[in-house]
Amino acid sequence: MKAIIEKANVLVEALPYIRNFYGKTFVIKYGGAAMVDEKLKDAFAQDVVLLNFIGIKCVIVHGGGPKINKVMAKMGKEPKFIHGQRFTDKETIDIVEMVLGGLINKEIVSLINSHGGRAIGLSGKDGSLIKAKKKVVRKLSPETGVSEIIDLGLVGEVEKVNAGILISVERDGFIPVIAPLGMGARNTTLNINADFVAGAIAGALKAEKLILLTDVEGIKDKNNKLMPALDKKKITSFISKGIISGGMLPKVEASFNALKAGVKKTHIIDGRVPHAILLEIFTKKGIGTEVVK
- Residue 206's domain is classified under what CATH number? 3.40.1160.10
Band of the pLDDT at 267, cuts 50, 70, 90?
very high
Instruction: Please indicate, yes or no, if residue 107 is contained in any of the structural domains.
Output: yes
Mean pLDDT of 89-117: 94
Instruction: Please indicate, yes or no, if residue 81 is contained in any of the structural domains.
Output: yes
Whether the predicted model's global pTM rises above the 0.85 cut: yes
Instruction: Please indicate, yes or no, if residue 8 is contained in any of the structural domains.
Output: no
Band of the pLDDT at 140, cuts 50, 70, 90?
low
120 vs 9, residue with greater confidence: 120
Query: Using one digit for the tens of pLDDT, what is the confidence trace for 205-246?
Result: 999 999 999 998 899 988 889 999 988 899 999 998 889 888
Instruction: Please indicate, yes or no, if residue 1 is contained in any of the structural domains.
Output: no
Q: Is the pLDDT of residue 259 over 80?
A: yes
Band of the pLDDT at 13, cuts 50, 70, 90?
confident
Q: How many residues are there in the chain?
A: 293
Cα separation, 136 vs 14, whole angstroms: 44
Query: Using one digit for the tens of pLDDT, what is the confidence trace for 47-91?
Result: 999 999 999 999 999 998 888 988 988 988 888 877 667 888 899
Instruction: Please indicate, yes or no, if residue 138 is contained in any of the structural domains.
Output: yes
Please report, rounded to a whole number, the percentage of residues in the chain having pLDDT higher than 90. 56
47 vs 144, residue with greater confidence: 47
The reported pLDDT for the residue numbered 66 is 83
Band of the pLDDT at 193, cuts 50, 70, 90?
very high
Instruction: Please indicate, yes or no, if residue 46 is contained in any of the structural domains.
Output: yes
Q: What is the DSSP string of 52-70?
A: HHTT-EEEEEE--HHHHHH
Identify the weakest region by mean pLDDT among 172-181, 262-271, 279-288: 279-288
The reported pLDDT for the residue numbered 107 is 95
The reported pLDDT for the residue numbered 83 is 64
- The domain containing residue 272 runs over which residues? 21-284
Contact 249, 14 (CB under 8 A): no
Cα separation, 94 vs 96, whole angstroms: 5
Instruction: Please indicate, yes or no, if residue 290 is contained in any of the structural domains.
Output: no
Domains: count for the chain: 1
Instruction: Please indicate, yes or no, if residue 275 is contained in any of the structural domains.
Output: yes
The reported pLDDT for the residue numbered 104 is 94
The string over 25-45, giving b where at least 16 C-beta atoms fall within 10 Å of a residue's C-beta and e elsewhere, is bbbbbbbbebbeeeebbebbb
